Structure 1
Amino acid sequence: MAKVLIIDDAAFMRMSLKSMLEKNGFEVVGEAENGEVGILKYKEVSPDLVTLDVTMPKMGGVETLKLIKEYDPKAKIVMVTAMGQEKIVKEAVISGAKSFIVKPFKEEKLVDTLNKVMAM
């Protein structure tokens, strides 16, 4: 069972992701409402996988991604983005994101993407 950390400023999105993941055999080991908290949580819980929102207050997703990858170059991070953020997603992938999911997404797409990243 893969351990997942959810980093997203929207409580509804964290709740929604957690529900979908747990229903599909993932273990949510932590949640964070911004990048700063996310980095601390990552170090605390050592997840197998991270879902990371692109747009957040305090510290954006790409900056958070870079700092997590600096701490753990093997980190498996999947960006969660809104439509129209292709430029940011491209930067995130160049910076080490393993994949991305565009909101709104279907549960099957989320699970399929995370399973593929876990197999990498």
Structure 2
Amino acid sequence: MPTVLVVDDALFMRVAIGNMFKEWGFNVVAEAANGREAIALYKEHQPDIVTMDLTMPVMSGLDAVKKIIPEYPAAKIVMITALGQQRIIVDAIESGAKDFITKPFQPYKLKEVVYNVLGIEVE
């Protein structure tokens, strides 16, 4: 069962994304509300995949990626972004994020991106 860390400052988004992963048979090992929490929880759990919101208080998702990837180059991080943040997404991908998805999104779209990053065939 693949493990996942869900990072978003909005509780409803963490719950919604977490529920999607549970439905797909993933184990949600932790949730974080900002980039600083995400780094600590990544080190603790080293999950198979991370969904990382881009814009958060305390520390952004981009800054968290820039701290996680040098230490864990194999980390699989999918950025979750709002429309109009393309430039920051390019920076995140160049910093080691594996892919991104734009809010609002349909569950099947997130599943497609996550399965692609993990190398799992979407059933």
Q: CA deviation at 1:25?
A: 1.3
Q: Secondary structure at the match of 1:30?
A: strand
Q: Secondary structure at the match of 1:75?
A: coil
TM-score under structure 1 length normalisation: 0.97
Q: CA deviation at 1:41?
A: 0.4
Runs of 4+ in 1 over 2 A off after TM superposition: none
Answer yes or no: is 1:30 the counterpart of 2:30. Answer: yes
TM-score under structure 2 length normalisation: 0.95
In 2, Cα distance between equivalents of 1:27 and 1:112: 17
In 2, Cα distance between equivalents of 1:70 and 1:7: 19
What 5-or-longer segments of structure 2 have no aligned partner?
none
The answer for the alignment partner of 1:61 in structure 2 is 61
Alignment identity in percent? 48
Q: CA deviation at 1:27?
A: 1.2
In 1, Cα distance between equivalents of 2:102 and 2:25: 22
Q: Secondary structure at the match of 2:47?
A: coil
The answer for the alignment partner of 1:89 in structure 2 is 89
What 5-or-longer segments of structure 1 have no aligned partner?
none
In 2, Cα distance between equivalents of 1:42 and 1:54: 16
In 2, Cα distance between equivalents of 1:99 and 1:46: 18
Across the aligned residues of Structure 1 and Structure 2, the Cα RMSD in angstroms comes to: 1.0
In 1, Cα distance between equivalents of 2:19 and 2:73: 28
